[in-house]
Amino acid sequence: MSVPVHAPPNVVAGLSVSVGPAPDPAAWDALFASSAAPHPHYARRVIDAHRAAGLLPADLRFVTIRSGGDLVALLPVTLRRDLTGLGSRVARPFLSPLVTATAPLVIDGSGRAAAAEALVASLEECGRAWRWPLLPTGDGAVPEMLAAMRARGWAIGTVSAFERPVMERRADHDAFLAGHPNRSRFKDLRRRARRLAEFGTVAHVSAAGGPELARLVTDFLALEQKGWKGQAGTAMACRADMAALARALFADAPGPVGVRADALTLDGRPIAVSLALVGGGTATLLKIAYDEDLRSHAPGLLLEAEIVRACHETGFADTLDSATLDGSALESLYRERTPVAEIIALPPGDRTLSLDRRLRLARFEHEARAAAKRALRRR
């Protein structure tokens, strides 16, 4: 079947499975709070911000799994024409330029495996090949989901994979630095900070709400637009809907996912701004922009190092998620890694196009996009 406007509930292993509109806010927030390795991208706050900015696909539907009245799993899904289907529609988790992880939200605890299996059974009913980018393959219930797919006869292949930098907070900042494999990086950053301080007073400021948060979001949009992304037309401020998304997402709002903005200032003027979502003990560092006129002083990396220090000193999160793609500069700062992959998964009986051919098409698309991005940056 296609992803319908609303599919009546089915029962899988005692759990109620349905596909339809978003669940009620209280149940959604409760699922996030009790999820295994919750990430913010499928939390109510993020989906609502995309909706407010007009950036939700018209066909977006939510696969939901319930145990009695409790929501135990959720995945927003769409159907898209895709090269890996030679132009035919394939199923995909919700994705946008700000979504950097696509794992379903699945309840933690003894019911996790059953919820993951029921989710997989529901995904089969979409009757489509799945293209699944940015899947943290070692986190939360993803291993159980992949195991359930294989047990049910899915064919799964990896398009690409990388290790994303994450930071687990130690007892203090000194403990974080002790035995760090890239201590030379911190020495270099201290040297750059001293050079930057020759131009004025350097400070680190942060906000989690109120007028100061709104000001830092505005500063971020201005810094990003001033740089190469603005020249290329890809900065968030270059599009009204993306600017609206930034203001809706990084604003005061109730719920289990909060916001944090950090800035490095020079004589009070922001020269680097980072925007993060904080929930479930993790700060997901979604966006950063810096003054490219000062790039030789690495203001972006200096700010990242200050965020690491602040995390240890204030405990605003237990984990920092870099939310980056392969080759991030944060690989030299963060000590831990989490595996992230793009997979293609074919449900039993779907052999309209072989898995091997779909993988080759996806890799070709990756190479073409990387070449276009390199050309854009050179220009």
Alpha-carbon separation of residue 83 from 72, 158, 167, 357 (angstroms)? 33, 16, 36, 11
Which residue is listed with tokens 């854009």?
376
- Asked whether residue 1 is domain-assigned, the answer is no
| Helix, strand or coil, per DSSP, at residue 198 | coil
The domain spanning residue 174 has which CATH number?
Answer: 3.40.630.30
* Torsional class of 22: left (φ above 0), alpha (ψ -120 to 50), beta (otherwise): beta
Q: Are residues 178 and 289 in the same domain?
A: yes
Residues 221, 120 share a domain: no
**Is residue 89 within 8 Å of residue 83, measured between CB atoms?**
no
> Helices marked H in 152-182 — which ranges?
173-177
Residues 145 and 104 sit within 8 Å (Cβ to Cβ): yes
CA atoms within a 13 Å half-sphere pointing along the CA-CB vector of 23: 27
Residues 122 and 232 both lie in one domain: no
Q: What pLDDT does residue 373 have?
A: 77
Q: What's the domain range around 110?
A: 7-162+339-354
On whether both 152 and 194 belong to a single domain, the answer is no
Q: Which residues of the chain have pLDDT under 70?
A: 1-13, 376-377, 379
257 domain-assigned? yes
Whether residues 274 and 176 fall in one domain: yes
Specify if 379 maps to a domain: no
pLDDT digits (tens, 9 = 90+) for 134-180: 999 998 899 999 999 999 999 999 999 999 999 999 999 999 999 89
* Same domain, yes or no: 273 and 343: no
Q: How far apart are CA 227 and CA 271, in angstroms?
A: 12
Q: Rounded to whole angstroms, how far apart are CA atoms 237 and 249?
A: 14
Q: What are phi and psi of 236, to 5 degrees?
A: -60, -35
pLDDT value of residue 127: 77
Output the pTM of the full model: 0.92
Tokens coding 38:
């919750």
What was the pLDDT predicted at 6?
45
H/E run at residue 318: none
CB neighbour class for 98 (10 Å; exposed up to 12, middle 13-18, buried from 19):
buried
- Helix axes 240-249 and 44-52, enclosed angle (nearest 10): 150
Are 158 and 180 within one domain? no
| Tally of CA atoms within 13 A in the half-sphere of 151 that contains its CB | 12
Please provide the size of the chain in residues. Answer: 379
Contact 318, 145 (CB under 8 A): no
Q: How many CB atoms lie within 10 A of CB 205?
A: 15
Q: Could you tell me if 24 and 61 lie in one domain?
A: yes
* Structural domains in the chain (count): 2
